[in-house]
């Protein structure tokens, strides 16, 4: 029997080190250390969900039943089938973690630059680290006859002496608890300060003093090691929350929840309509708060942070989401001329909103720019730091309402284009959200002209998600099964092109490979929905560039934000004309930039200030009454574009592919 030697398992990305004996089962070792993996088969080696990836060292493992050799050689192991035999460094991908009711995080995309966390975080350069949420431990001298200043003065004086903090504002509830707290703790307390500003319509660019320290909590003894905040991305579809350990600067964990407002409408317009019904606004506000509280509940389970330990929340959301969260009437967001109630609502009491955090906690809603350019975009612009750069960058967040920002340190132009739900799998016959069983990667084998696809979590196909749809259409375009005008090439005469109830259809997945045993297909209406969506996006960039007299060649970086962006295959997006045909290296995926920006607010008062003036620096271009946008839109209603000179690398490929597969398809029938 082998000696019971102890080895170290280092778990990425959390940097957690656990100890395991020789021969210990890796799944057991991780579970025993409180790291829960998804293992719905209970460790039987069947479900293939407890996937981890080797980064250094090796384990004694058997390949999974359904695992490919490539996958195994790339370092993927099933934890339940692996035993520890030495020091090892493993990475646990997000999708292997247990997160009940949590949306599956997807794999890195195969093209474009997927920036590392470190690279993403260093996009915004040149700010001073000066946290906006501080915990400070103070030792106060007890009162004497010669020094009998009020308790609050004693505390404020020490903060001024030791930390240079002045102009302290204090919550009444802190004052009510203060005298007992100070005396019970023998005058050794930890104070929590936030740098906050109340609702404010104007913040002058130079006026940093607008943010004043506010004392929201006094605890007995030294609690500086328990210091947490929550960064929230309030999406129309998904709410993401990330607990930050401000004592270490680490992100503890991230949880995603479907925004339960969605039951009242899939997009912001239907939410606004619902809000106008009697009681509708209160209901929607309650639903998003319920979702936030679910996120907080998961965080408590998954990373050991009690809701009452959350002292502050930052919420980045689009303008409608921000209005609904604060229970501000969104009615005029959707009526011309599209007027928000406020763009820069200041910090509000989380408790007043119904949020289950510390009763002293504040929620800071990210400032917005206009009715359809919200806090999520300011957050992204802050995160990517494009407002500080010499070179010009394009920032895009693709979705039902796609937001676009172009700019550099001298100018910022924003716009929002209504793309419709196609990018989120909506309005498509076999469309679905990016969940298990959604077709994501899709190829036509150039040799056989047969379709090959992968689904999320490798489940039987249930539908096509937004990014999958782009891949599907790009493949069919290149195969000549879809024409540049969006029509299905019925002349191809391959079995996958067929006549359906609403005209011609192309089969994406045969019945045998689907969950329900029914083939998945696209019809021309579906293709047209995507065509319109991509045309709106492309017209958006083009119009903004024209506005400042630039072309795509002037763009140094294209930052693609959002989960959708993360799974986008750049080459295919260019093929259909969603993205411009420029140097592929310029495309950079920044992931959930909204969450990233929300997180960055904690690192520096300068960034907080930047966030508030970004809205004023940005010129918002409205497309709804913009005739150039309409012209660009019409010009883009073609795969990839009516002007093929704009897509030199694509047009030849489509032409070649078309001929080839059309021939083969015809040959197949002979």
Tell me which residues touch a copy of itself (CB under 8 A): 143-145, 147-153, 155-157, 160, 166-172, 175-176, 178-180, 183, 198-202, 204, 207, 209-210, 214, 326-329, 331-332, 336-343, 345-346, 348, 352, 370-371, 622, 625
Task: Decide if 224 contacts 260 (C-beta within 8 A).
Answer: no
Please, which residue, 317 or 466, has the CB nearer to a copy of itself? Answer: 317
Please, which residue, 77 or 134, has the CB nearer to a copy of itself? Answer: 134
The order of strands in the sheet holding 88-91 is 16-21, 6-12, 88-91, 51-56, 76-78
Q: How far is the CB of 178 from a copy of itself (least distance, A)?
A: 6
Please, which residue, 29 or 350, has the CB nearer to a copy of itself? Answer: 350
Please, which residue, 22 or 332, has the CB nearer to a copy of itself? Answer: 332
Task: Decide if 538 contacts 577 (C-beta within 8 A).
Answer: yes
Instruction: Tell me how many degrees the CA angle 273-278-281 measures, rounded to the nearest 5.
Output: 60
Q: How far is the CB of 212 from a copy of itself (least distance, A)?
A: 8
Q: Which two structure tokens, joined as six digits, stand for 201?
A: 């319509």
DSSP letter assigned to residue 140: P
Contacts of 201 (CB under 8 A, 6+ apart): 342, 344
Polymer length in residues for the chain: 670
Paired strand residues for 614: none
Q: Hey, how many other C-beta atoms are within 10 angstroms of the C-beta on 268?
A: 25
Please, which residue, 32 or 179, has the CB nearer to a copy of itself? Answer: 179
Q: How far is the CB of 170 from a copy of itself (least distance, A)?
A: 4
Q: How far is the CB of 200 from a copy of itself (least distance, A)?
A: 6
Q: Which two structure tokens, joined as six digits, stand for 551?
A: 């072309």
CA–chain centroid gap for 469, Å, is 20
Q: Hey, how many other C-beta atoms are within 10 angstroms of the C-beta on 205?
A: 11
Q: How far is the CB of 388 from a copy of itself (least distance, A)?
A: 25
Report d(CA 294, CA 349) in Å as an integer. Answer: 18
Q: How far is the CB of 160 from a copy of itself (least distance, A)?
A: 7
CA–chain centroid gap for 407, Å, is 22
Please, which residue, 213 or 421, has the CB nearer to a copy of itself? Answer: 213
Q: How far is the CB of 377 from a copy of itself (least distance, A)?
A: 16
Q: How far is the CB of 209 from a copy of itself (least distance, A)?
A: 8
Element (H, E) at 212: strand 212-220
Report d(CA 65, CA 47) in Å as an integer. Answer: 9
Q: Which two structure tokens, joined as six digits, stand for 64?
A: 């999974």
Please, which residue, 167 or 669, has the CB nearer to a copy of itself? Answer: 167
Instruction: Tell me how many degrees the CA angle 528-533-538 measures, rounded to the nearest 5.
Output: 120
The order of strands in the sheet holding 113-114 is 113-114, 587-591, 555-561, 392-397, 401-407, 412-418, 618-620
Element (H, E) at 642: none
Q: How far is the CB of 207 from a copy of itself (least distance, A)?
A: 8
At residue 295, φ and ψ (nearest 5 deg) are -55, -45
Please, which residue, 150 or 446, has the CB nearer to a copy of itself? Answer: 150
DSSP letter assigned to residue 337: T
Please, which residue, 133 or 370, has the CB nearer to a copy of itself? Answer: 370
Q: How far is the CB of 277 from a copy of itself (least distance, A)?
A: 15
Contacts of 368 (CB under 8 A, 6+ apart): 318, 319, 322, 340, 343, 344, 374, 375, 378, 615
DSSP letter assigned to residue 341: S
Q: How far is the CB of 580 from a copy of itself (least distance, A)?
A: 29
Task: Decide if 223 contacts 206 (C-beta within 8 A).
Answer: no
Question: Could you report how far apart the first and last alpha carbons of the chain are, in Å?
Answer: 66
- CA-based Rg of the chain, rounded to a whole angstrom? 27
Please, which residue, 144 or 645, has the CB nearer to a copy of itself? Answer: 144
Q: How far is the CB of 454 from a copy of itself (least distance, A)?
A: 45
Please, which residue, 363 or 579, has the CB nearer to a copy of itself? Answer: 363
Please, which residue, 333 or 383, has the CB nearer to a copy of itself? Answer: 333
């Amino acid at each position: 029997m082998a000696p019971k030697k102890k080895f170290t398992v280092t778990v990425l990305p959390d940097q957690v080190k656990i100890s395991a004996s020789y021969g210990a089962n890796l799944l057991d070792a991780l579970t025993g250390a409180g790291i829960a993996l998804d293992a719905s088969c209970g460790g039987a080696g069947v479900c293939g969900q407890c996937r981890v990836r080797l980064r250094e060292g090796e384990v004694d493992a058997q390949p999974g039943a359904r695992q490919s050799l490539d996958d195994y050689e790339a370092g993927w192991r099933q934890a339940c089938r692996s035993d520890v035999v030495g020091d090892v460094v493993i990475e646990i991908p997000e999708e292997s973690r247990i997160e009940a009711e949590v949306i599956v995080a997807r794999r890195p995309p195969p093209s474009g630059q997927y920036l590392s966390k470190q690279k993403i975080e260093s996009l915004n350069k040149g700010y001073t680290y000066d946290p906006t949420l501080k915990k400070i431990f103070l030792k106060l001298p007890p009162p004497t006859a010669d020094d009998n200043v009020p308790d609050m003065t004693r505390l404020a004086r020490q903060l001024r002496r030791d930390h240079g903090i002045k102009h302290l504002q204090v919550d009444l509830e802190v004052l009510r608890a203060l005298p007992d707290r100070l005396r019970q703790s023998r005058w050794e307390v930890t104070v929590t300060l936030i740098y906050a500003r109340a609702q404010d319509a104007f913040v002058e660019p130079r006026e940093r003093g607008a943010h004043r320290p506010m004392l929201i909590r006094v605890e007995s003894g030294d609690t500086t090691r328990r210091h947490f905040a929550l960064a929230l991305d309030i999406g129309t579809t998904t709410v993401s929350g990330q607990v930050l350990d401000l004592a270490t600067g680490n992100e503890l964990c991230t949880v995603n929840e479907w925004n339960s407002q969605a039951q009242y409408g899939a997009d912001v317009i239907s939410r606004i309509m619902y809000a106008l019904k009697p009681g509708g606004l209160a209901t929607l506000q309650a639903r998003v708060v319920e979702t936030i509280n679910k996120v907080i509940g998961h965080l408590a389970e998954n990373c050991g942070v009690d809701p009452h330990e959350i002292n502050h929340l930052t919420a980045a959301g689009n303008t409608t989401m921000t209005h609904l969260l604060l229970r501000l009437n969104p009615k005029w967001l959707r009526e011309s001329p599209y007027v928000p109630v406020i763009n820069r609502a200041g910090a509000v009491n989380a408790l007043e909103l119904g949020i289950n955090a510390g009763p002293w906690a504040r929620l800071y809603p990210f400032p917005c720019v206009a009715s359809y350019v919200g806090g999520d975009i300011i957050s992204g612009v802050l995160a990517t730091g494009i407002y500080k750069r010499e070179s010009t960058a394009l920032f895009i967040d693709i979705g039902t309402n796609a937001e676009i920002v172009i700019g550099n340190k001298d100018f910022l132009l924003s716009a929002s284009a209504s793309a419709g739900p196609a990018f989120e799998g909506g309005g498509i016959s076999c469309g679905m959200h990016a969940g298990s069983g959604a077709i994501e990667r899709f190829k036509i084998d150039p040799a056989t002209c047969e379709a090959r696809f992968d689904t999320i979590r490798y489940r039987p196909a249930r539908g096509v998600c937004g990014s999958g749809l782009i891949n599907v259409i790009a493949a069919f375009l290149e195969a000549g099964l879809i024409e540049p005008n969006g029509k299905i090439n019925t002349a191809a005469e391959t079995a996958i092109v067929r006549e359906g109830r609403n005209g011609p259809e192309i089969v994406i997945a045969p019945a045998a490979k689907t969950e329900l045993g029914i083939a998945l297909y696209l019809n021309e209406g579906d293709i047209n929905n995507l065509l319109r969506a991509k045309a709106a996006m492309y017209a958006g960039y083009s119009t903004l560039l024209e506005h400042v007299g630039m072309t795509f060649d002037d763009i140094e970086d294209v930052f693609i934000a959002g989960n959708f962006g993360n799974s986008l295959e750049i080459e295919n997006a260019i093929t259909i004309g969603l993205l411009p045909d420029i140097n592929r290296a310029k495309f950079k995926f920044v992931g959930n930039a909204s969450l990233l920006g929300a997180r960055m607010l904690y690192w520096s008062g300068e960034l907080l200030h930047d966030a508030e003036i970004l809205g004023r620096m940005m010129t918002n271009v409205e497309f709804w009454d913009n005739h150039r946008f309409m012209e660009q839109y019409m010009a883009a209603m073609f795969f990839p574009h009516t002007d093929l000179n704009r897509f030199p690398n694509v047009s030849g490929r489509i032409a070649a592919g078309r001929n080839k597969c059309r021939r083969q398809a015809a040959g197949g029938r002979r």
